[in-house]
Amino acid sequence: MKRLLSLLLSLCMLVVPLTARAEWLYEQESGETPESLILATEAELWQNASVPTAADGLDIQAKGAVLMELSTGTLLYEQDSHTPMPIASVTKIMTLLLIFEAIENGRLTLEDVVTCSGTAAAYGGSQIWLEEGEQMTVHELLKAIAVVSANDACAMMAEHLSGSVDAFVAQMNARAEQLGMTDTHFKDCCGLDDTAVSSAADVAVMTRELLRHQAVTNYTTIWMDTLRDGQSQLVNTNKLVRYYKGATGMKTGTTSGAGYCLSATAERDGVAMCAVVLGSDTTDHRFAGARQLLDYGFANYTVYTPSVDVGQMEPVPVLRGVERQVALTVRPMEPLLLKKGEESLVGYRVTLAKNVEAPVLEGQTLGKVEVLLGETAVATYPILAASAVERMTVGKAFSRLLIALLGGH
């Protein structure tokens, strides 16, 4: 099988008309080659690797690492999680976040055409070799950023959205502050500057925020694609996208100062995880670390969304109200992160007011429902009045009596 894949890859490289600019494009600093990315022989070992049942069984060879369950934001593993360090092209997660937020608020569309400036064309590192005056759509530039970590494409989008790269970076830092990323300070829009810092915990936070824009996975799950009518061949440096079940992204990064970095996301059976590995000494160690973290998370944890049937709750009697009782409602409950097997321990304890005096406001708290794990309450939600009930007055009472005497209802 390996020989067949290698032969197919060689044939592809011969058939595709290549120029100095139209070679296979990928994250150049990654230490990979198109062949090593496509064959990824080490991925065979991932399928048979043992999965630790306890976090202390993990062997993460990195300067910083975390595992976050994404629906709750809970950190399941931390290793120097708040130590500031350079993160290389993992920086582009924030760049992608600002782009998708601009799309969501209507400032940008995927069909918008962007023109490359001389400044953007001059960016070094990983790139798609954009030329000054060259035009691409936002859709094409997102492919370039997400798949091959193109610094020139990042600069092009930064200038398009904010007028200059410096102005865009200021927005990146402002957004990081809004998200509570206290270990982070960006210096550029792409991660070339190794004096910029973030942390494993902060990277998980911005990754989680980016994934709120589900359309981003249309790009971060691309394994191979093309630009320029097929002349530029793209291959993703994140091998997990091709070889890890449920992978949804997210971003690799490599520089001499940052080492080998990765924010890896995956979803299985409704459970979404993010593994961040920063400062590994080899590309194999970053992928092995992320795979271990994800495997550990999926093997040991599940997400359970509690719910109660308010239809089974007796309405609360209303004293001196125009209605004798008020129906109840409970807002949707947040998902709970549980260890596998704990689902059967989930229960509920309902506490309701015996009655309430009018007037009753819609949304007024009339009790609570506690979500129990065994005997322990792990979440509490208010039980609310589903509608308002006015207070009965003499005039309203007389009107009702008159209607009843006249045969009304």
Secondary structure string (H, E, C) spanning 25-94: ECCHHHCCCHHHHHHCCCHHHHHHCCCCCCHHHCCCCCCEEEEEECCCCEEEEEECCCCCECCHHHHHHH
Separation of alpha carbons 68 and 377, rounded Å = 23
Helix, strand, or coil (residue 314)? coil
Per-residue pLDDT, 248: 98
For the stretch 183-205, pLDDT in tens is 999 999 999 999 999 999 999 99
Judgement on whether residues 34 and 116 belong to the same structural domain of the protein: yes
pLDDT value of residue 18: 38
Residues 381, 316, single domain; the answer is yes
Whether residues 366 and 281 share a domain: the answer is: no
Distance CA 85, CA 94 (A): 16
Asked whether residue 6 is domain-assigned, the answer is no
The residue among 303, 326, 352 that closes a domain is 303
Query: How far is it, in rounded angstroms, from Cα 44 to Cα 54?
Result: 24
Q: What are the two backbone dihedrals, phi and then psi, of residue 285, each rounded to the nearest 5 degrees? A: -65, -35
Neighbours of 111 (CB within 10 A): 8
Q: Which residues are known to be catalytic? A: 89, 92, 149
Residue numbers of the domain that contains 337: 310-405
Tell me, yes or no, whether 317 and 253 share the same domain: no
Is 1 a member of any domain?
no
The answer to whether residue 298 sits within a structural domain is yes
pLDDT at residue 124, rounded to an integer: 85
Is the domain of 220 the same as that of 316?
no
Q: Are residues 80 and 156 in the same domain?
A: yes
* Residues of the chain below pLDDT 50: 1-22
Q: What is the largest CA-CA distance in the chain?
A: 96
Is there a single domain that holds both residue 113 and residue 236? yes
* Cβ–Cβ < 8 Å for 62, 289: yes
Residue 377 and residue 380: Cα distance in Å, rounded? 7
369 and 273 assigned to the same domain: no
β-bridge pairing 74-79 and 259-268: unpaired
5 in any annotated domain = no
Same domain, 201 and 114: yes
- My answer on whether 317 and 191 are in the same domain is no
Q: Identify whether 197 is part of a domain.
A: yes
Q: Which residue among 272, 303, 334 closes a domain?
A: 303
20 part of a folded domain: yes
> What is the count of structural domains for the chain?
2
pTM: 0.86
**Are residues 290 and 354 located together in one domain of the fold?**
no
**Domain CATH for 355:** 2.60.410.10
Residues 289 and 315 in one domain: no
Last residue within a domain, chosen from 273, 288, 303: 303
